[in-house]
Amino acid sequence: MEVEKESCEKVNRFYLWLSCFITIMNKLHTMVIMLFKKVKKIGEDDPRRILHSFKVGLTLTLVCIFYYVTPLFDGFGSSAMWAVLTVAVVMEFTVGGTLCKGVNRTFATLLAGALGLGTHHIAILCGEKGEPILIGIFVFFFSSAATFSRFIPEVKKRYDYGVTIFILTFSLVAVSSYRVEDIIEFSHQRLSTIALGVALCISISIFIFPVWAGGDLHHLTSTNLDKLANFLHGMRDKYFGEDLVDRSYFQSYKSVLNSKATEEVLVNLAKWEPGHSGFGFWHPWKQYLVIGASIRHCACLMDSLATFITTLDKSAPLIGSNPRPKPDSEELYGKIRSACADMSSETAKALSDLANDIKARSAPATARLHVAAAEEAAERMKMALSNGAEGGIVHVATIGSLVGEITKSAKEIVGSVEELAQLAGFKSHEAVNRTMVKPLADGESQHTTITVNE
């Protein structure tokens, strides 16, 4: 009996261990699949990331040749490893990022090396005892001054990495000069290998599948305008069309609210880039920040509108739902709702046209026409409301007021884009002939042809 019992316990332990092993393997399998899906999604979202990874690998492989080939290694010595380190820290996703870090690293190393050598020659005049003291004073002064300069906004934005490299290089050169005899050769090898690594990074970044920060900024601005237009198209087709169930368009503008940091980074990097893809070296990148601020203001108004509608869902009847307005308010209700739909439609068209104009790098031609039509709809709504807003339509009147504010914000965006087109020298349309339909108060329509000669 005891033998059988012991045998059963061994079998149970075996199955227990087997069960634990299977559970662990299943979890590992699930984790591997999730990791694979995440990596696949990252690659599909932006295939340029895969190309960038290959570019970094290629650059590191090329720079390692200077360490493997004996004649090249004899020319640079052990400092050849600094070229490898330079590639690892300088190679960025965008051309602007690589140029920013590369130029900062090169000039910071050159300046710090020169000051370090100068410090060495001055310190040796003080004798063997005074040399370390004077070197310590210089290190304290320059490192403190350079660190304080990082608090200056202009320096922080464009030269923060260079200041960090300056502090590191100056300290290394100044301190090494006390022990290293041939400090000039040491500094020359270090600067040469760093310059070599930077030149290789910049060359590959520019000439092999370049990723331009300026192009990304231009595309981001156009995409954000499309997102705002999608929200207003949804308001026209769904909400004012009395489809109260589908609210997917409520999410279209949300990513725009958090785009400021990305825009500022891209503007800073775009300033480092040479002329490319129709963008000149002196392209007015700062104007994109002005446009971005106007776009985010418009998105904030849309957020207020979406929040009001969501709150209304929980506390009051919605537009088009039961109970309907009182019979004496039915006509006024219809006029206000029609005006809101027209404002949403025309403002959406204006934003869509601006997005297309930015994509094509052409001066806005039709956006102001749509804004003018939206303003006319806003005036119709004001005239209707001047008769008094009965209790059954207060909610739609509030929504109309918010849509009117969005129209005003869109007008500011139009002005900002027009200024960009003027500063950047975007091509203009020779003539725009457009027929617009303007609904009248009595429900009829008049056709007005507006010709704009630019």
CATH number at residue 305: 1.20.58.220
Residue 72: what pLDDT?
63
**228 lies in the same domain as 176:** no
The residue behind tokens 């088009």 is 320
**381 lies in the same domain as 331:** yes
Residue 190: what pLDDT?
79
**55 lies in the same domain as 179:** yes
- Residue 76's pLDDT band (boundaries 50, 70, 90)? low
Are the C-beta atoms of residues 283 and 214 closer than 8 Å to each other?
yes
Better pLDDT: 311 or 103: 103
The residue out of 160, 181, 207 marking a domain boundary is: 207
Better pLDDT: 383 or 320: 383
Are the C-beta atoms of residues 333 and 384 closer than 8 Å to each other?
no
**83 lies in the same domain as 164:** yes
The residue out of 154, 178, 207 marking a domain boundary is: 207
**128 lies in the same domain as 273:** no
Q: How many domains does the chain have?
A: 3
Better pLDDT: 71 or 356: 356
* pLDDT greater than 90 at residue 204: yes
- Residue 440's pLDDT band (boundaries 50, 70, 90)? very low
Are the C-beta atoms of residues 96 and 272 closer than 8 Å to each other?
yes
**266 lies in the same domain as 333:** yes
Share of the chain above pLDDT 90, in %: 44
**35 lies in the same domain as 55:** no
CA distance 119 to 138: 7
Look at residues 218, 213, 252, 193 and name the one whose alpha carbon lies nearest to residue 97.
213
Q: Which two tokens stand for residue 63?
A: 């720079």
**361 lies in the same domain as 236:** yes
- Residue 44's pLDDT band (boundaries 50, 70, 90)? confident
Determine the average pLDDT of the residues in 159-165.
93
Comparing 94-108, 126-140, 142-156, the range with the smallest average pLDDT is 126-140
Q: Dihedral of CA 327/397/435/243: which sign?
A: negative
CA distance 218 to 220: 6
Rg of the chain over all Cα atoms, to the nearest angstrom = 33
Per-residue HEC secondary structure of the chain comes to CHHHHHHHHHHHHHHHHHHHHHHHHHHHHHHHHHHHHHHHHHHHHCCHHHHHHHHHHHHHHHHHHHHHCHHHHHHHHHHHHHHHHHHHHHCCCCHHHHHHHHHHHHHHHHHHHHHHHHHHHHHHHHHHHHHHHHHHHHHHHHHHHHHHHCCCHHHHHHHHHHHHHHHHHHHHHHHHCCCCCCHHHHHHHHHHHHHHHHHHHHHHHHHCCCCCHHHHHHHHHHHHHHHHHHHHHHHHHHHCCCCCCCCHHHHCCHHHHHCHHHHHHHHHHHCCCCCECCECCCCCCHHHHHHHHHHHHHHHHHHHHHHHHHHHHHHCCCCCCCCCCCHHHHHHHHHHHHHHHHHHHHHHHHHHHHHHHHHHCECCCCHHHHHHHHHHHHHHHHHHHCCCCCHHHHHHHHHHHHHHHHHHHHHHHHHHHHHHHHHHCCECCCEEEEEEEEECCCCCEEEEEEEEEC
**27 lies in the same domain as 135:** no
The residue out of 9, 27, 45 marking a domain boundary is: 45
- How much is the mean pLDDT over the chain? 82
**148 lies in the same domain as 11:** no
* Alpha-carbon distance values, 297 to 21, 255, 259, 410 (Å): 56, 13, 12, 9
Residue 199's φ and ψ, nearest 5 degrees, are -60, -40
CA distance 350 to 410: 8
- Strands 445-453, 431-439: pairing is antiparallel
Residue 444: what pLDDT?
45
- Residue 308's pLDDT band (boundaries 50, 70, 90)? confident
Share of the chain above pLDDT 70, in %: 81
CA distance 403 to 260: 23
CA dihedral 340, 341, 343, 346 (to 10 degrees): 180
CA distance 73 to 76: 5
Residue 181: what pLDDT?
59
- Residue 390's pLDDT band (boundaries 50, 70, 90)? low
**238 lies in the same domain as 299:** yes
The residue range of the domain holding 1 is 1-45
Determine the average pLDDT of the residues in 371-375.
94
Determine the average pLDDT of the residues in 83-88.
88
Look at residues 295, 314, 311 and name the one whose alpha carbon lies nearest to residue 229.
295
**192 lies in the same domain as 274:** no
